[in-house]
């Protein structure tokens, strides 16, 4: 029987070979970590082309006021004892209420303003503000009252669309004596969006703060942003070029992308879903049955929890007040009439 020859271990199987392999792996990991830490800091991040100051984009009805150290852009129409304040949703502005504000002004003092991070309201960056983060929902709720104080409005009805509905609910829960009623339109109470809490520390690193605005631009600028807007309507083809331009205009403001990144990272210690229990005023919930962003079932649930009237707009998406402005104004007037009747009793 022929004896087998002894096998020589390959270099990778020897102790020295294994040590060398681990050194290669360690160097590869170090290089990758170094690239992750250093490349974002040196990667050229161009400014928004042809960026301007908010005042350059002001419309004929635009006004500006300093509220709690922040320069707010707002529009106010009508003069009456009753007041209605309109709170827009994510990535929108006072432009969203263009068809509603004139109608509402025939009945009451109608105010719409740009929430921090949007429209023509000042967009401070990290380190620019003192006190509470102006992009936080709780701070925004308190700023509603500060806006009312600045305009000498004792009490008001709040109309909150989508994420603006979260601000409206928190305001009503925190300041019940100042809020006469709520109209919550496609309210984003249970599905607020934004990055999950576990990833927030990573997104707050200098590296993420540097490249994050580029991600914001890719998401909301150009064809992607236009498609998101069209998806908000039940019939995307009904979105006009004028509407697309109106939503894009605030993207010409200096640092709009950086400020929106700050908005996405803002703390949210108060959960609007928990605040529902503190809402004492009358409420109407308006929802489109074809909403692709806030499930119709969420609006049904909110109406049930608040013992509110639910108004369903058939064949309507996420923006009933833009898709069916006449009917929305009718529902607004009906709600105001019901408040008058309640007060008369």
Q: What does the pLDDT look like over 293-345, one tens digit per residue?
A: 999 999 999 999 999 999 999 999 999 999 999 999 999 999 999 999 988 87
User: Which whole-number Å values give the CA distances from 241 to 143, 222, 236, 277, 304, in the listed order?
Assistant: 33, 13, 12, 41, 38
pLDDT given for residue 211 in this prediction: 79
Residues in Cβ contact with 137 at an 8 Å cutoff, skipping those fewer than 6 apart: 166, 167, 170, 266, 268, 270, 272
Residue 12 pLDDT > 70:
no
Split at pLDDT 50, 70, 90, the class of 286 is very high
Residue 23 pLDDT > 70:
no
Residues in Cβ contact with 24 at an 8 Å cutoff, skipping those fewer than 6 apart: none
CB atoms within 10 A of CB 121: 25
Q: Could you tell me if 170 and 275 are in contact, meaning their C-beta atoms sit under 8 angstroms apart?
A: yes
Every domain of the chain and the residues it spans: 60-344
At residue 303's C-alpha, the angle toward residues 300 and 305, to 5°, is 110
Q: What does the pLDDT look like over 172-212, one tens digit per residue?
A: 999 999 999 999 999 999 976 666 666 667 777 777 777 78
CATH number, domain 60-344: 3.40.50.1820
pTM for the model: 0.86
């Amino acid at each position: 029987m022929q004896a087998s020859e002894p096998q020589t271990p390959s270099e990778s199987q020897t102790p020295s070979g294994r040590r060398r392999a681990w050194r290669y792996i360690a160097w590869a990991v170090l290089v990758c970590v170094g690239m992750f830490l250093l490349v974002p800091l040196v990667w050229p991040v161009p400014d928004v082309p042809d960026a301007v100051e908010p005042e350059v984009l002001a419309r004929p009805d635009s006004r500006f006021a300093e509220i709690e150290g922040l320069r707010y852009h707002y529009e106010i129409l009508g003069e009456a004892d009753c007041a209605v304040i309109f709170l827009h949703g994510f990535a929108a502005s006072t432009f969203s209420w263009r068809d509603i504000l004139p109608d509402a002004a025939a009945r009451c003092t109608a105010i719409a303003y740009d929430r921090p991070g949007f429209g023509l309201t000042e967009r401070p960056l990290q380190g620019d503000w003192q006190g509470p983060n102006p992009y936080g929902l709780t701070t925004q709720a308190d700023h509603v009252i500060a806006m009312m104080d600045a305009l000498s409005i004792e009490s008001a009805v709040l109309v909150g669309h989508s994420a603006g509905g979260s601000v409206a609910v928190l305001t009503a829960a925190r300041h019940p004596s100042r809020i006469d009623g709520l109209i919550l339109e496609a309210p984003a109470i249970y599905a607020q969006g934004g990055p999950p809490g576990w990833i927030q520390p990573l997104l707050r690193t200098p590296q993420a703060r540097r490249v994050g605005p580029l991600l914001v631009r890719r998401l909301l600028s150009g064809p992607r942003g236009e498609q998101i807007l069209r998806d908000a309507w039940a019939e995307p083809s009904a979105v006009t070029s004028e509407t697309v331009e109106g939503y894009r205009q605030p993207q010409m403001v200096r640092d709009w992308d950086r400020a929106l990144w700050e908005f996405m990272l803002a703390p949210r210690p108060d959960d609007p879903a928990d605040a529902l229990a503190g809402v004492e005023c009358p409420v109407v919930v308006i929802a489109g049955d074809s909403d692709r962003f806030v499930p119709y079932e969420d609006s049904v649930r909110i109406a049930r929890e608040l013992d509110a009237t639910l108004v369903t707009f058939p064949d309507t998406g996420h923006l009933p007040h833009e898709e069916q402005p006449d009917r929305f104004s009718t529902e607004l007037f009906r709600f105001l009439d019901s408040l008058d009747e309640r007060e008369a009793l």
